[in-house]
Structure 1
């Protein structure tokens, strides 16, 4: 029996349309799904604990070699809703920003926006655990990603959507995560993998209903905020982001 391909997936709602088919189509018998938050998945790919992962694009330059597989990703052409800077003050009054420990791409995106788009002088602090969300007050803000960001949207006066701000600054969509491997995978496998990703995108209504939590309109989230096709515009946005230094 051939060894299963270990596939790292993100434990956030945004991945549900992509993994829907991986859990239902015949490819499920060829893979082992391993779930973690983005920064942890990046480490697993670097250490060889997974063979293929939906990893933050910020990890790609750290890999000795890499392959971006298939035609799907976690991306946005405007506001993504679940990756944002939360604050009680407008951007020009912020003095300190806590950075989400679960993120890599989002943290680098924030750093880029601070330097090139907002052009503000702030102290950046790496958060260690969930308690950092409690520090958002006065002139202290924080980056929050994933389902936790959706839940926090009603709680703060100012929300700066990082994907939306990138689009304003560059005119390009943003890619947060892509299916990356460190070894070349067979074309047959990638074809079936793509088909499984596409299958989920054909069942958005069912997925939104299944995971509905009353916090955010998931049909809007899956079909409007998120954009899953790794088209040429997204590849252009990804190329620009990967050329930056952080």
Structure 2
């Protein structure tokens, strides 16, 4: 049986996966499946993949189905840069305005709703889609699309969701967590899973030692339309350590989402042992 890993082709995930690009045959019992966080969240829930650094809200959408890596996540120090609200109006004026919401990540959509409705007391109109149309007042973009929009300067205002959350709650936000289906804890798959998690940690250390070389590999497979210095600087704001503070933040996020009815309940977090 093969361990199926959801690989996200966004720049933010380069440290997780650069050492598998072009070397998939070295992971003999692992199959990589490329797709955005929303696709992998669905795959985790329907059992078509076993693990992925997927949208963190997925854990709360199917309570009891997953465990989390106790050491790895996708977080930031205040700004994340790649999860942003771009707006033609100041954020305080967005009630009754049209906001185009990315379909690529339920976590970012949930976080924006919590911020707009709980922090600012706003009630905008939410519309699905990947990018703003001419009639939209604002749009939420994630990943490489958000990084590229940063460089276009087409909107009068932009807001980093990582910063908005930390200013409000005093905690760094956890955008992605390594969700592991409990199916992967079977006697057959557990040794493969344990080996993969060790290689994952090793890959992150290798990325930090030589990010330029790692990015050469990544960008050859998943190019982005950004200047190379900006790409390398992007990783100065990212942090992949799942600290106690970040675990506290994730639990709070689930609690607020449940209070708003965006998930049924706020489940206790379970970790891979």
How far, CA to CA, are the matches of 1:92 and 1:208 in structure 2?
38
How far, CA to CA, are the matches of 1:55 and 1:6 in structure 2?
13
How far, CA to CA, are the matches of 1:145 and 1:46 in structure 2?
22
In structure 2, what is the equivalent of residue 156 of structure 1? 155
Give how far 1:125 is off.
Answer: 2.0
1:215 to 207, 226, 236: 226
Alignment of 1:232 with 2:268, yes or no, is no
Matches within 5 A, 1:137-148: 140-148=137-145
Asked if the contact 1:57–1:176 (Cα under 8 Å) also holds between the matched residues in 2, the reply is: yes
Asked if the contact 2:148–2:226 (Cα under 8 Å) also holds between the matched residues in 1, the reply is: yes
Asked if the contact 1:85–1:141 (Cα under 8 Å) also holds between the matched residues in 2, the reply is: yes
Q: TM-score, normalised by structure 2?
A: 0.79
The range that moved more, 158-167 or 212-221, is: 212-221
How far, CA to CA, are the matches of 1:238 and 1:166 in structure 2?
11
In structure 2, what is the equivalent of residue 122 of structure 1? 124
- The runs of 5 or more residues in structure 2 that have no matched partner are 263-273
Runs of 4+ off more than 6 Å: none
How far, CA to CA, are the matches of 1:240 and 1:192 in structure 2?
30
Asked if the contact 1:86–1:136 (Cα under 8 Å) also holds between the matched residues in 2, the reply is: no
Give how far 1:136 is off.
Answer: 6.1
The range that moved more, 103-112 or 188-197, is: 188-197
In structure 1, what is the equivalent of residue 171 of structure 2? 172
Aligned residues: 238
Asked if the contact 1:85–1:142 (Cα under 8 Å) also holds between the matched residues in 2, the reply is: yes
Alignment of 1:37 with 2:36, yes or no, is yes
- The runs of 5 or more residues in structure 1 that have no matched partner are none
Asked if the contact 2:18–2:215 (Cα under 8 Å) also holds between the matched residues in 1, the reply is: no
Asked if the contact 1:77–1:172 (Cα under 8 Å) also holds between the matched residues in 2, the reply is: no
Q: Give me the CA root mean square deviation.
A: 2.2
Give how far 1:155 is off.
Answer: 2.0
Asked if the contact 2:15–2:203 (Cα under 8 Å) also holds between the matched residues in 1, the reply is: no
Q: TM-score, normalised by structure 1?
A: 0.87
How far, CA to CA, are the matches of 2:134 and 2:10 in structure 1?
23
How far, CA to CA, are the matches of 1:100 and 1:25 in structure 2?
30
